[in-house]
Structure 1
Amino acid sequence: QYYVDVIVNQENVGKARLSITPQEESANALCLSPEWLKAAGVPVRLEGYASTLDAAKQCYVLSRNPYTKVDFSYGSQSLVFSIPQSFLVSKTDPSRWDYGVPAARLKYSANASQTSGQSTSAYANADLMVNLGRWVLASNMSASRYADGSGEFTARDITLSTAISQVQGDLLLGKSQTRSALFSDFGFYGAALRSNSNMLPWEARGYAPLITGVANSTSRVTISQNGYTVYSKVVPPGPYQLDDVRSVGNGDLVVTVEDASGHKTTTVYPVTTLPTLLRPGEIEYNVAAGRKSSNYQLKKPFRDGESGTFWMGSVGYGFDSTTLNAASILHGKYQAGGVSVTQALGGFGAVSAGMNLSQAKYDNGDNKRGHSVSAKYAKSFSDSSDLQLLAYRYQSKGYVEFADFYSTDRYTRYNTKSRYEMRLSQRLGNSNLNLAGWQEDYWWMKGKATGGDVSLSTTILDGVSVFLNGSYSKRPYLDKPDYSTSLSFSIPFTLGGV
């Protein structure tokens, strides 16, 4: 029996007691149990070593894998593993987390104005956060005083939350907002359990494609995008699977593999992302229960028709190049469900499609049933030009979002029938140009609503930023369209070296 240093791919992961039987010594092949590997801190994916399992002894002879080496050094008393990167577990250790120190933070702002008629109005906003043990109290509150002397106190959120590492999520209690990729968000009083991407390593947050391959020898894998190196790692011989590439935007990923002899191979991965696209193996979930509240006032938190408890659940899962989402809402007088699929198309961009069904019952006995379908497309044309989003949504006459549902009111004013939306972005040297436009029509109203905006940002002189924005909108229930323009500057205090 030996007390050995355990070294995995040139990294010391700890010490462990190791027993070597005469049979193992003569065969020069160790049979290691899953319990020993876990206790020794060897981060190996045993499902990749199913063929090396000794069923009688219930242990693994890892060295039977042609890409894996397990060497015991009697002189240094060390057990050295060379394991292909794709067979390693990549994750953070929740036992090293902490909940911070007791603290409080208050951010506030206030303003007041007085008209020529001596009437005064004022507004104040406060953002409070208190951390005590594992719990966090957070609230966004505001107070207003109007020119007629009336006033109100409102709160958008008042939550008590705590992190739960076992499910990589947060438990929230109080007044909050729902989160769902398929339904419109709404405020509610109750409880929610939702995933928190901040519990993932920073390089595992957001979408990035899964980079795989086989290294013939110890090799360096370098990934670049738009001329910048975004990732570099040395991998041992054998198959590798890079699932820790940080979130990337639109544009080709150029993967260069340089082996021990200096030979280089290059592979190009075209990348276009959509907000609903998750990286392979990532799970995003949200479960909530409570009572809907569309009113920010604390004295009267609920509107008529908002009685009854709702239950909502949504989940998204990322496959190699596909993401599936599903969600449902259950209420005594309202039920809805939806599914969507998002597909990365490589050089052709990315596309998503979804469908929702809803059923609503009203106090006067009326029932509404309907459906909604949507589609989105994104494409990166070059390193400097993106079609960020081309979207279409159609809602049948009977479709109702739970955010707009009130059992006392069966008339959904300005009920949207269809909506088109497009956004383009163009980089021009140190300038950025963004264009957007939309059009929608309604079931209960003639005419169409249209709108658009254009924005330009650039840097001049020595760090002075200039922002120019213009927008247009036309509603069928208004006589004239609205126009607006703005010009702003951001000047650093260090301008001119001062």
Structure 2
Amino acid sequence: MIRPKVSRLALIIGALLYTGCLCYAATFNTDFLAGESAKADLSRFYSTSELPAGRYDIDIYLNNDWKGRFDINIQNDGKDIYLFNEDLSRLGIKIDKNQLSESNLSKDEILLTKIIYEGTANLDVPKLSLHLVVPQAYVKNELKGYIDPAFWDRGIPGAMLSYNANYYHTQNRNKQNRDHENEDNVYVSLNSGLNLFGWQLRDQSSYHYTRSNGDKWSNNTRYLQRGISSINSELRIGDSYTSSDLFDSFRFRGINLKTDMRMYPDAWQGFSPIVRGVAQTNALVKITQNNVVIYQGNVPPGAFAIDTILPTGSGGDLLVEVTEADGRTNSFTVPFSSVPNMMKEGLGKYDISAGKTHIANSRYKPNFFQASYQYGFNNVLTGYTGTIISKDYYSLLLGSGFNLPIGAVSIDVSQSSAKFDNSPTMKGQSYKLAYSRYIPQTKTNFSLAAYRYSTKNYLTLIDAIDLHDWISNGYNQQYYSHQKNTFNINLNQNLGSGAGSLFLSGTFRDYWGTQNKSREYQMGYSNSLGKVNYSLTASRVRYNINETESKEEQRYYLMLSIPFELFGYPAYLTNNISVNESHYDNSNVGLSGSAGPSNRLNYHFNISDQKSGSTTTSANLTYKTSVSTLSSSYSQSTEYRQMGLGAIGSLVAYQGGILAANQVGETFAIIDAPGTANASVNGDKSMVTNNSGKLLIPYLSPYRKNAIMLDTSEVSEDAAELIGNIRDVAPYSGAITHIGFKTDQRKTFVFYAAQADGKPLPFGTEIVDSEGNSLGYVGQGSMVFLRAEKLPQQIYIRIGQLGEKSCTINDPQPEMGSTANICR
């Protein structure tokens, strides 16, 4: 693809030409100039003949929404812009094929003005962007947040290493524990990766050392992955974990292919109903939830279906109001509650894994196959199913989720069969019921209430593997314990403005094969008094001491948080008090806050008092640099003294070198703006380019538009000039995205010059070098402004529109007050 270089002159001309729409150029009123400058010929500044024709990569925005980077063809002195036919579907404009067939165009390209109807186009040449404003009637109804997969960026090859390293030295003052009087502890967590040919290799490992036990390396996951846009899925090969959507998650080595919901529009990422109705005229549809407008838009006469409602966490029925063109209004309600596994109507989700189990501390590692599928049949019903097949084991699950006026309900049934050596086959069932409901009248939210009952012979695959090891170790199968009943509830109650909120949560479990039970109930109240935030919590906990004994405790907590300013920076004073069985247990008083540029320094001081009479003091400091986050800690009590150091950061190697950052996420970017040191990104002063103009942006949202704006307001005066400071990217998950900014690294020279007769040079006169390359212009007061890598030995001043007159300055002197720069 041929893309002519856009010169500095072309950029200036283009900016003058395209400040409104594709229309006639503006002219400059020379009456504002005085003296010799009034005779200057400025026509070339608004002449379209100097805008280079050719093909360019341009960011196109439709009604302020970024549609991607397109290859466009600029012709006819910039008056005509052509798009390629293959890109039309990605633009999001409704195309009239009959109108296109009538147009006198090539078979591969179409004139932009043929498809924007009554709209306008604004070509911003310096920023290499094209802004289209098109009436909504001609724009496709695309879902919020969706970027066409053709514009997803797989990134560049590169390697990365994220580390979290901590060292602790402990001095034990307990005279009864002299064996560990001094202990050193080192823990390093490493997340590394390699991106190559669109594939991503990932590894999560850790190193642990203690003076008493030596060192140990361990690996958690190691896999190869790749996003597959054609089926909205992600493929993963290696050591990983199975999905926990329908079955318990476990570690395995093998292959996994699953739907990646992040590739879908925002409104499809979770359950939300499709709102259907009928409009008699051109009508306005407004949808509110819990007295908040979540959608508003115009619809034509006839049936309509709105599927762009974003999922909300709290739920709550939708009130739909349809206002006709003549003012008539009708309304109706659409139920909206959700439980896990519910899907939007018409949307399916699958997850397939196959390989060998790798469960910690288990010698038995059978091969297995696991598959699950969820599908939204309509606004009311979601169906889901799954199966696990392994050696001497299988499990089958069937379930449904319902969005009902009384709330969301899900019911599922599982059947399992497991066979063991010299033992009868164990077959059992498990039943689960879940409920979720938000009551707007009382502002009560049942976020989830779930109950599961499993028969004695029902086993998950993890249970079956554990029982296999149990029998292999010579234990009696009869005494193997596994879950029988499980109950969870979470309730939140908003008490209204200024009255605070209540919450209630509870968990209960009992088991087959043992008398052990565990349960925990919590109830709490939180509110604020002025700037003081406080909460009260009461809990009752039953836990197991051994196989036959258990203990119950009642615990009470009071927590206070008081925000204030310390030396002009935000700080918090906190106080936590704990009471156990009506007796004082412990209390903590803490001071935390931040300071320094961009709040890079964070601190926390704490004093803890125990019922035993011991007091512990601790201090923690962290400092965020541009390449790493450093930390230190110190704590002391009557029994021990501990000092610690830590560092968190990332290193990334690519073709352009090695860069360091605090810590990068799964998806990140490399900024490359040569010659612009100390430029910040998106207003964050803690993220600035290094001396080479490079920077790691630690986090990007995959499959979404990420706007990157480079701010050069604080770069040095001799820094390169940025040509366009905004870029938009939509990366694949796990990609290393390279974002290059064009810069002009030539130096700027400003000095006075005059004609041989002492008269000033005409304003706007062009300055060129010996090869005719444009270097700059003459400004007001005969001041010469030019940019070059180094000042030429000779510069030429062209006078007149066609440059019919010229003079030369030999060995120009860049000093501002020099009178030696005479043009002869």
- Which TM-score tier does this pair reach, normalised by the shorter chain? 0.7 to 0.9
Once residues 276 and 244 of structure 2 are traced to their aligned partners in structure 1, the CA distance between those partners, rounded to angstroms, is 31
Match status 1:271 vs 2:336: yes
**Matched residue, 1:50:** none
Runs of 5+ consecutive residues of structure 1 not aligned to the other structure: 22-38, 41-72, 74-79, 296-301
Once residues 305 and 161 of structure 2 are traced to their aligned partners in structure 1, the CA distance between those partners, rounded to angstroms, is 42
Match status 1:13 vs 2:94: yes
User: Bigger shift: 133-142 or 478-487?
Assistant: 478-487
Cα drift, residue 420 of structure 1: 2.0
Cα drift, residue 405 of structure 1: 2.2
Cα drift, residue 246 of structure 1: 0.6
**Matched residue, 1:423:** 490
**Matched residue, 1:339:** 398
Cα drift, residue 395 of structure 1: 0.9
Sort the Cα spacing of 1:158 and 1:472 in 2 relative to 1 into closer, same or farther, 3 A: farther
**Matched residue, 2:746:** none
Cα drift, residue 259 of structure 1: 2.2
Q: Deviations over 1:239-274 (max 9, x none)?
A: 111112111232222222222223322222232211
Q: 2:551 aligns with which of 475, 480, 493?
A: 480
Letter of the 2:319 partner, please give it: V
Q: Which runs of 4+ in 1 moved over 6 A?
A: 80-85, 88-91, 483-486, 495-498
Runs of 5+ consecutive residues of structure 2 not aligned to the other structure: 1-81, 103-108, 111-116, 118-134, 174-180, 472-476, 573-593, 596-824
Q: Is the 8 A contact 2:413 2:431 kept in 1?
A: yes
Q: Is the 8 A contact 2:349 2:374 kept in 1?
A: yes
Letter of the 2:522 partner, please give it: D
Letter of the 2:551 partner, please give it: K
Q: Is the 8 A contact 1:222 1:229 kept in 2?
A: yes
Letter of the 1:97 partner, please give it: W
Cα drift, residue 314 of structure 1: 0.3
Q: 1:182 aligns with which of 246, 259, 276?
A: 246
Once residues 436 and 230 of structure 1 are traced to their aligned partners in structure 2, the CA distance between those partners, rounded to angstroms, is 30
Q: Is the 8 A contact 1:180 1:286 kept in 2?
A: no
Q: Is the 8 A contact 1:84 1:239 kept in 2?
A: no
Sort the Cα spacing of 1:443 and 1:219 in 2 relative to 1 into closer, same or farther, 3 A: same
Cα drift, residue 470 of structure 1: 5.7
Q: Is the 8 A contact 2:463 2:482 kept in 1?
A: no
Cα drift, residue 209 of structure 1: 1.0
Sort the Cα spacing of 1:442 and 1:198 in 2 relative to 1 into closer, same or farther, 3 A: same
- SS class of match (2:267): helix
Q: Is the 8 A contact 1:192 1:289 kept in 2?
A: yes
Once residues 188 and 467 of structure 1 are traced to their aligned partners in structure 2, the CA distance between those partners, rounded to angstroms, is 42
Give me the TM-score of the superposition, normalised by structure 2: 0.47
Letter of the 2:331 partner, please give it: T
Structural mapping, 1:33-432, within 5 Å = 93-102=148-157, 104=160, 106=162, 108=164, 110-114=166-170, 115-116=172-173, 117-128=181-192, 130-146=194-210, 148-248=212-312, 249-295=314-360, 303-306=362-365, 308-320=366-378, 321-346=380-405, 348-382=406-440, 384-406=443-465, 407-410=468-471, 411=477, 413-428=480-495, 429=497, 431-432=500-501
Instruction: Tell me the C-alpha RMSD between the 2 structures.
Output: 3.8
Once residues 212 and 524 of structure 2 are traced to their aligned partners in structure 1, the CA distance between those partners, rounded to angstroms, is 37
Q: Is the 8 A contact 2:413 2:429 kept in 1?
A: yes
The structure that has the greater radius of gyration is 2
Letter of the 1:201 partner, please give it: P
Sort the Cα spacing of 1:239 and 1:397 in 2 relative to 1 into closer, same or farther, 3 A: same
- SS class of match (2:470): coil
Q: Which has the higher contact order (CA 8 A, sep 6+)?
A: 2
**Matched residue, 2:626:** none
Once residues 364 and 418 of structure 1 are traced to their aligned partners in structure 2, the CA distance between those partners, rounded to angstroms, is 28
Once residues 140 and 20 of structure 1 are traced to their aligned partners in structure 2, the CA distance between those partners, rounded to angstroms, is 56
Q: Is the 8 A contact 1:105 1:130 kept in 2?
A: no
- SS class of match (1:143): strand
Sort the Cα spacing of 1:19 and 1:176 in 2 relative to 1 into closer, same or farther, 3 A: closer
Once residues 456 and 152 of structure 1 are traced to their aligned partners in structure 2, the CA distance between those partners, rounded to angstroms, is 45
**Matched residue, 1:49:** none
Letter of the 2:430 partner, please give it: S
Q: Is the 8 A contact 1:224 1:231 kept in 2?
A: yes
User: Bigger shift: 410-419 or 479-488?
Assistant: 479-488
Once residues 311 and 330 of structure 2 are traced to their aligned partners in structure 1, the CA distance between those partners, rounded to angstroms, is 23
- SS class of match (2:150): helix
Q: Is the 8 A contact 1:178 1:186 kept in 2?
A: yes
Q: Deviations over 1:108-129 (max 9, x none)?
A: 2535251332123343334445
Once residues 93 and 455 of structure 1 are traced to their aligned partners in structure 2, the CA distance between those partners, rounded to angstroms, is 46
Q: Is the 8 A contact 1:84 1:237 kept in 2?
A: no
Number of aligned residue pairs: give it. Answer: 430
Once residues 413 and 563 of structure 2 are traced to their aligned partners in structure 1, the CA distance between those partners, rounded to angstroms, is 47
Cα drift, residue 102 of structure 1: 4.6
Once residues 503 and 218 of structure 2 are traced to their aligned partners in structure 1, the CA distance between those partners, rounded to angstroms, is 35
Sort the Cα spacing of 1:20 and 1:176 in 2 relative to 1 into closer, same or farther, 3 A: closer
Q: Is the 8 A contact 2:290 2:440 kept in 1?
A: no
Give me the TM-score of the superposition, normalised by structure 1: 0.75
- SS class of match (1:250): coil
Once residues 328 and 355 of structure 2 are traced to their aligned partners in structure 1, the CA distance between those partners, rounded to angstroms, is 61
Q: Is the 8 A contact 2:412 2:432 kept in 1?
A: yes
Once residues 468 and 141 of structure 1 are traced to their aligned partners in structure 2, the CA distance between those partners, rounded to angstroms, is 40
Cα drift, residue 309 of structure 1: 1.6
Q: Is the 8 A contact 1:362 1:409 kept in 2?
A: no
Once residues 235 and 553 of structure 2 are traced to their aligned partners in structure 1, the CA distance between those partners, rounded to angstroms, is 43
Structural mapping, 1:485-496, within 5 Å = 487=559, 489=561, 493-494=569-570
Q: Is the 8 A contact 1:373 1:394 kept in 2?
A: yes
- SS class of match (1:184): coil
Letter of the 1:209 partner, please give it: P
